[in-house]
């Protein structure tokens, strides 16, 4: 049941993010910046895992969330990991 709510929240956040990108006027540039920022944040979390003890698995789902969601997507993954533990 928790995974269904997580999926609903993730889909709603993704739709809201895509709408905001579309309204910015430069959808592709905003999408590229967001994808780079999210991917960099995902790898930064894993690079600092030895110091903080927090890590995220790098797989297709986390890369998609980080790429489409950017930094808020990575924060959502970290929050979901903390809540679901």
Residue 24 DSSP one-character state: T
* pLDDT tens figures, 27-81: 788 778 888 998 999 999 989 988 988 888 888 888 888 888 888 889 888 988 8
What's residue 43's pLDDT? Answer: 92
Alpha-carbon dihedral 32, 46, 3, 76, rounded to 10 degrees: -50
pLDDT at 1 > cutoff 60: no
pLDDT at 22 > cutoff 80: no
Could you give the C-alpha distances from 44 to 39, 54, 70, 81, in angstroms and in order? 9, 11, 13, 16
Closest to 74 measured CA to CA, from 43, 35, 41: 41
Q: What is the mean pLDDT of the chain?
A: 83
Domain boundaries, the chain: 2-84
């Amino acid at each position: 049941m928790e995974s269904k709510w997580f999926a609903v929240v993730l889909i709603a956040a993704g739709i809201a993010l895509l709408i905001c990108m579309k309204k910015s006027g430069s959808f592709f540039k905003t999408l590229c910046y967001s994808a780079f920022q999210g991917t960099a944040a995902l790898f930064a979390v894993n690079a600092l895992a030895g110091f903080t003890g927090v890590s995220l698995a790098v797989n297709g789902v986390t890369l998609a969330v980080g790429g489409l969601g950017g930094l808020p997507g990575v924060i959502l993954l970290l929050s979901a990991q903390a809540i679901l533990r």
